[in-house]
Structure 1
Amino acid sequence: MRLNEIVFNDAQPVESYGPGFFRIGGERIDGPVIAAPSGTRTWGGFEDVQPLLDLAADVDVIFVGTGADIAHLPQTLRDQLDAAGVGVEAMSSPSASRTYNVLLSEGRRIALAMLPV
């Protein structure tokens, strides 16, 4: 088996999560979060669309973690992201974290927006 060191550049993998928080890049962030090539920051949730639209030029897909369980995204959010030309995949936050970490390690152009579990 060959092991390679993973270099994440400015983007940081999700290290852990728990009730109401995420740990990304060694920092605990309470509440909803966005992790992207430009860095990690808090997020206002589904109504806070502009930070996601700002990522459209830098990523191909945004994984949206909907909390402990998978849920449908609000149609207005999905429509705005579609109009901006960025793909969006909704899944539970634990699944979104794992998917993001794997694709980030492959150097993919992705971002993550998550609600806490």
Structure 2
Amino acid sequence: MARDAPSIEAYGDGGFRLSSEQGADARHEGSLLIVADQARAWGVTALAELTVASLAPVFEAGRAEVEFLLLGVGARNAQPPRAVRDALAAAGLGLEFMDTPAAARLYNVLTSEGRRLACALIAV
């Protein structure tokens, strides 16, 4: 994986199983936010709860750490709120959104390529 980015080994049952290059596996209950290769719990449980404020760590990291946000919106693909899309564009950050299972799989591919991304995944 790129740098020390965790790998998403599994998803479902309301959480994620991550592993690191050091071989440590960890189960994260609930939604997940990965910024600057650091995974943390994320309080967003549904797309309707997604706000600019909920993505504060992404904006704080800025373009130095993040090219774009990979957003897993839940079980079905749907467009994120306009305010979120507009704020990311204004900050010069790209946005890719899709259902959470697809986003979890794509995250591993993109980090293995060394892409600088933030990943926000709503648990399914």
CA contact (8 A) 1:100 1:111 kept: no
AA aligned to 1:15 is: E
**Structure 1 stretches of 5 or more lacking a match?**
1-6
Shift of 1:37: 2.8
Q: Check whether the contact 2:35–2:58 (CA below 8 A) recurs between aligned residues.
A: no
**Partner residue of 2:10 out of 4, 7, 16:** 16
Counterparts of 1:36 and 1:50, CA distance in 2:
10
- Amino acid of the structure 2 residue aligned with 1:23: R
Q: Counterparts of 2:115 and 2:3 in 1: how far apart (Å)?
A: 12
Contact 1:11 1:36 in 2 (8 A): no
> 1:83 and 2:90 equivalent?
yes
**8 Å contact 2:58–2:66 — kept in the other structure?**
no
When normalised by structure 1's length, the TM-score is: 0.86
Q: Which residue of 1 aligns with 2:117?
A: 110
Specify the code of the residue in structure 1 equivalent to 2:62.
A
| Mapped partners of 2:61, 2:14: distance in 1 | 24
Residue 89 of structure 1: SS of its match in structure 2? strand
* Bigger mean CA offset, 64-73 vs 46-55: 46-55
The structure richer in helix per residue is 2
What whole-Å deviation, never above 9, does each CA across 1:42-93 have from its counterpart, x for those lacking one? 1122131212212322111110001111011011111111111110111001
3-state SS, counterpart of residue 6 of structure 2:
coil
Alpha-carbon separation, structure 2, partners of 1:69 and 1:116: 12
Number of aligned positions between the proteins: 111
Q: Does 1:67 align with 2:74?
A: yes
Q: What is the aligned partner in structure 1 of residue 39 from structure 2?
A: 40
Is residue 3–residue 114 contact of structure 2 (8 Å, CA) maintained in 1? no
Instruction: In structure 1, give the amino acid aligned to 2:90.
Output: A
Cα RMSD between the aligned structures? 1.4
